[in-house]
């Protein structure tokens, strides 16, 4: 049975000095904010029931988790501190006779309520703080961690070279299937390597020709990539005829289709850059991990990271 709050007073609270239970100004403000009924709604909508043993009150759980995050406590330390403090007991809506939920209970409740409930609580908190004019609500800043993708640093020349390489490699594998698959397709990988090597030499030299040389190399790579993609498309049409006879050919054909699609996106974003337009929305940063995104966190060592 879901309990929302524990309002049962204790006889000891009327006997002991009231100063023992006085909360700090910070905890008093937090207690007032968390008393809003909107913070109970996510629990009522999903977990409300009259059946079973009474659960830990939602008000107690919310305040204990608030103390845990605010003071960076472990579950074990949190339970001990709440048990030993009159002020924290009052904040968590626990009388002196009430048993403090143990660490295992709090862990199980956190798993039970899940991330969806936490998201709803965060949304409700933001709305409440805006109504109270504690925050203005124009910007919302969060501390994040980036899970870096296992990719090389993305450049347009590097991505174009990757696309040419994987398409050519997949077409070479399909040629082993016999017949006339890939007949007349030219291998441009050596030429692409020479162009990329020339770009790296230009930037090592550090002279004024590097920008003009890069623009020229990008145009060459875009032209080559378009040829390779067109050849890959013709191979894909040939594979459609043979894939019913061989599952191996069909599997390679599906791989080829994936490389062609992402390579077309790379070409589509490289062409505006070659013309001087540098702001490209939803830029592809890797043909091997298309879900990776450029994330700017303003760190001194690494300004932009790539991943999730």
Residue 106 pLDDT greater than 90, yes or no: yes
169 closest CA partner among 151, 196, 183, 189: 189
Looking at 33-37, 227-231, 239-243, 289-293, which range is the least confident one? 239-243
- Give start and end residues of each alpha helix (H) in 206-246: 209-242
Q: Assign 59 a pLDDT band (cuts: 50, 70, 90).
A: very high
Kindly state the average pLDDT of the residues 210-218. 79
Mean pLDDT of 116-131: 89
DSSP readout, 99-141? PPPPHHHHHHHHHHHHHHHHHHHHHHHHHHHHHTTSS--S---
Where do we find the tokens 């579950």?
75
Q: Assign 81 a pLDDT band (cuts: 50, 70, 90).
A: very high
Q: Look at 7-11, 70-74, 172-176 and tell me which has the smallest mean pLDDT.
A: 7-11
Q: How many CA atoms lie within 13 A of 113 on its CB side?
A: 24
- Residue 67 is predicted with a pLDDT of 94
* DSSP string covering 85-101: -HHHHHHTT--TTSPPP
Residue 126 has pLDDT above 80, yes or no: yes
Instruction: Tell me what pLDDT residue 107 has.
Output: 93
Q: Is the overall model pTM greater than 0.85, yes or no?
A: no
Share of the chain above pLDDT 90, in %: 19
pLDDT of residue 74: 92
One-character DSSP codes across 28-70? HHHHHHHTSGGGTHHHHHHH--SSSSPPPPHHHHHHHHHHHHH
206: left (phi over 0), alpha (psi -120 to 50) or beta: left
pLDDT tens digits along 153-188: 888 888 899 999 999 988 888 877 665 676 777 888
Question: Each residue of 227-270: pLDDT tens digit?
Answer: 999 888 888 887 777 766 666 677 888 888 888 898 999 888 88
pLDDT attached to residue 232: 87
Q: What is the mean pLDDT of the chain?
A: 84
Give the separation between CA 100 and CA 154, rounded to whole angstroms. 53
Q: What is the mean pLDDT of residues 66-75?
A: 92
Q: What angle do CA 277, 282, 288 make, to 5 degrees?
A: 110
Question: For residues 298 and 264, which has the higher predicted lDDT (pLDDT)?
Answer: 264
Q: What angle do CA 17, 21, 23 make, to 5 degrees?
A: 140
Q: Is the pLDDT of residue 7 over 70?
A: no
């Amino acid at each position: 049975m879901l309990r929302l709050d524990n309002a049962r007073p204790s006889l000891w609270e009327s006997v002991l000095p009231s100063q023992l239970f006085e909360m700090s100004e910070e905890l008093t403000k937090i207690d007032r904010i968390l008393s809003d009924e909107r913070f109970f709604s996510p629990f009522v909508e999903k977990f409300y029931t009259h059946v079973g043993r009474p659960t830990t009150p939602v008000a107690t759980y919310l305040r204990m988790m608030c103390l845990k995050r605010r003071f960076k406590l472990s579950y074990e330390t949190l339970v001990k501190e709440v048990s030993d403090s009159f002020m924290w007991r009052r904040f968590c809506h626990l009388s002196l006779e009430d048993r403090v939920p143990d660490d295992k209970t709090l862990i199980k409740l956190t798993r039970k309520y899940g991330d969806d409930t936490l998201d709803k609580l965060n949304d409700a908190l933001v709305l409440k703080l805006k109504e109270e004019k504690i925050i203005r609500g124009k910007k919302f800043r969060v501390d994040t961690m980036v899970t870096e993708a296992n990719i090389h640093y993305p450049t347009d020349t590097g991505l174009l070279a990757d696309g040419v390489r994987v398409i050519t490699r997949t077409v070479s594998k399909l040629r082993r299937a016999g017949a006339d698959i890939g007949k007349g397709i030219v291998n441009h990988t050596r030429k692409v390597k020479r162009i990329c090597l020339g770009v790296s030499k230009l930037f090592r030299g550090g002279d004024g020709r590097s920008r003009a040389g890069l623009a020229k190399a990008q145009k060459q790579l875009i032209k080559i990539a378009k040829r390779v993609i067109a050849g890959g498309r013709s191979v894909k049409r040939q594979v459609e005829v043979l894939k019913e006879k061989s599952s191996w050919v069909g599997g390679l054909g599906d791989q080829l289709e994936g490389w062609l699609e992402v390579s077309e996106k790379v070409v589509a974003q490289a062409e505006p850059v070659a013309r001087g337009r540098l702001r490209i929305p939803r830029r592809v940063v890797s043909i091997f991990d298309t879900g990776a995104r450029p994330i700017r966190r303003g760190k001194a060592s690494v300004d932009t990271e790539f991943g999730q």
